[in-house]
Structure 1
């Protein structure tokens, strides 16, 4: 029934020859018996004048504009694919040494990120994001509070995070970042001396891997000066739900979904982090493939 309402919302009635009311009246009994409509009414509440299916918004123009937008995105993706990796010529792709992924110069740049805190589990930490001075950086700030919610279940609390929105292709398809041509993450930040965790989320191969994260630490020195931080991808270790995994393997650089920053150093009080830009670097001097040993847990005798 939900699909029926979606189709009704995007349907068109050309020239008025077919009226919406006629179609709705014919589908009314079907929708009345569905879960979209309930006859229950709270005491004291006014009766609904219209049923939920009667509030369907018929707009052929909106549906056509949406289709036009998605087709233009598909056209651009096809052109970029034919041009070369990442929409760049092959010669440029092979010689590329740096790339800026995110920079913060407008509210539109901030809208590409999502902030969250332990408020989701009943905590009291607060986090905000806004443009910095002269609109030249993103300012992530707030207050960390490690007070555990009194729900009888939660044992730890006190974290705030900032995470990029997943990339989406035409027609809402999943889209991945391909960083396989680089070996380091490069950032220009200004912190307050508190440590942060940098989290990389890749597309899971199996459904039970949906909580897997690749994590490494970023230590800010504080003070009035900016610092440039380089973190090799070989240093990121695999964790799941906050626990470091025994079985470690390198980051899948061609299946990157999101990048995030988390603070949870168990120190109550205010924090702030300014981010000028986030980019990639291909450091030719860095030869390390993976920093952690892989071993057989059940070695045959």
Structure 2
């Protein structure tokens, strides 16, 4: 029995030509869309030395401080139990539900500065300087220093010139992370007095994935300068998502139920002295503001 001739069968001839063309064409990999890396290592800023120590080598054992720490943690634990019977944050539940204004940070004495930390590009070899102190009347804080955009001569850092002030992560008993719940509010309220420089306000919230730990929501604070105070109200819907200083295409609103901290960054590339005086930082409920999110939400292609 003879085999069928390929030239007489159209479908076999078509399959043979397709197979022949596939052997001749080079292999072309599928197109890939760039996206944020899911698995990331620890971020090291340019110019900062590497820390190759093992995790247990970074622990500083001190017996006396350990006893003081245990006493402090049990005191915080006791306060947590008593506050649960009174209401959230030690306030009655009805007052908490009807609250429309809340002062989160205020500066009334040197002890209030313990909740904040300052840093600058001097950590990576830059020349900027930043300081934080209580005002003369003990009712405000003064953030001041000198900004320098000259990069360090380490052969790695190309840009420099920033100063920051950031609130510390609030902690519950036994160093458990504690979060601010601002879900009842929609606006950030500040009372500041600056020197005309623009600042960047940064808010970080709790994340559920490790590759989101460097996410931050930012917006601009424009100070007028002069001797007069200014009340600034910024809706949370205006804050946009950034990741390690880069604005992300995939934008979504800030989650207000688990806020970690807030910070102020100066990096306008104008060398010279600066100062920013802050009276208080709070949140409020503005019923006239109904906007949910100010930016276009990115919609990716749906796979068929």
Pairwise TM-score range, normalised by the shorter structure: 0.7 to 0.9
Helix, strand or coil for the counterpart of 1:193?
coil
**1:213 maps onto 2:223 in alignment:** no
1:83 to 55, 80, 86: 86
Report Cα offsets for 1:126-173 as digits up to 9, x if no partner.
Answer: 001111121121000001100011212112110000000110111111
State how far apart, in whole Å, the 2-side matches of 1:232 and 1:242 are: 21
Equivalent residue number for residue 257 of structure 1:
260
State how far apart, in whole Å, the 1-side matches of 2:62 and 2:262 are: 37
Helix, strand or coil for the counterpart of 1:134?
coil
On the 8 A contact 2:249/2:298 being kept in 1, the answer is no
Helix, strand or coil for the counterpart of 2:89?
helix
**Aligned residue pairs: how many?**
247
Flag the 1:297–1:188 CA change in 2: closer, same or farther, 3 A.
same
Helix, strand or coil for the counterpart of 1:273?
strand
Report Cα offsets for 1:195-238 as digits up to 9, x if no partner.
Answer: 00000011221111111110000000000100000011110000
Stretch moving more, 178-187 or 88-97: 88-97
On the 8 A contact 2:130/2:145 being kept in 1, the answer is yes
TM-score scaled by length of structure 2: 0.77
Q: Matches of residues 36-47 of structure 1 in structure 2 within 5 Å?
A: none
* Structure with the greater alpha carbon radius of gyration: 2
Helix, strand or coil for the counterpart of 2:252?
coil
Deviation at 1:73, TM superposition (A): 1.2
Q: Matches of residues 108-119 of structure 1 in structure 2 within 5 Å?
A: 108-119=111-122
Flag the 1:91–1:191 CA change in 2: closer, same or farther, 3 A.
same
Deviation at 1:194, TM superposition (A): 0.4
TM-score scaled by length of structure 1: 0.77
Report Cα offsets for 1:226-256 as digits up to 9, x if no partner.
Answer: 0000011110000011100000111111111
Q: Unaligned regions of 5+ residues in structure 1, if any?
A: 1-34, 37-52
1:187 to 186, 190, 194: 190
Q: Unaligned regions of 5+ residues in structure 2, if any?
A: 1-55
Deviation at 1:57, TM superposition (A): 6.3
Deviation at 1:259, TM superposition (A): 0.6
Equivalent residue number for residue 285 of structure 1:
288
Helix, strand or coil for the counterpart of 1:70?
helix
Q: Matches of residues 133-144 of structure 1 in structure 2 within 5 Å?
A: 133-144=136-147
Equivalent residue number for residue 279 of structure 2:
276
Flag the 1:124–1:180 CA change in 2: closer, same or farther, 3 A.
same
Deviation at 1:300, TM superposition (A): 6.4
State how far apart, in whole Å, the 2-side matches of 1:96 and 1:269 are: 42
State how far apart, in whole Å, the 2-side matches of 1:102 and 1:63 are: 29
Deviation at 1:118, TM superposition (A): 0.5
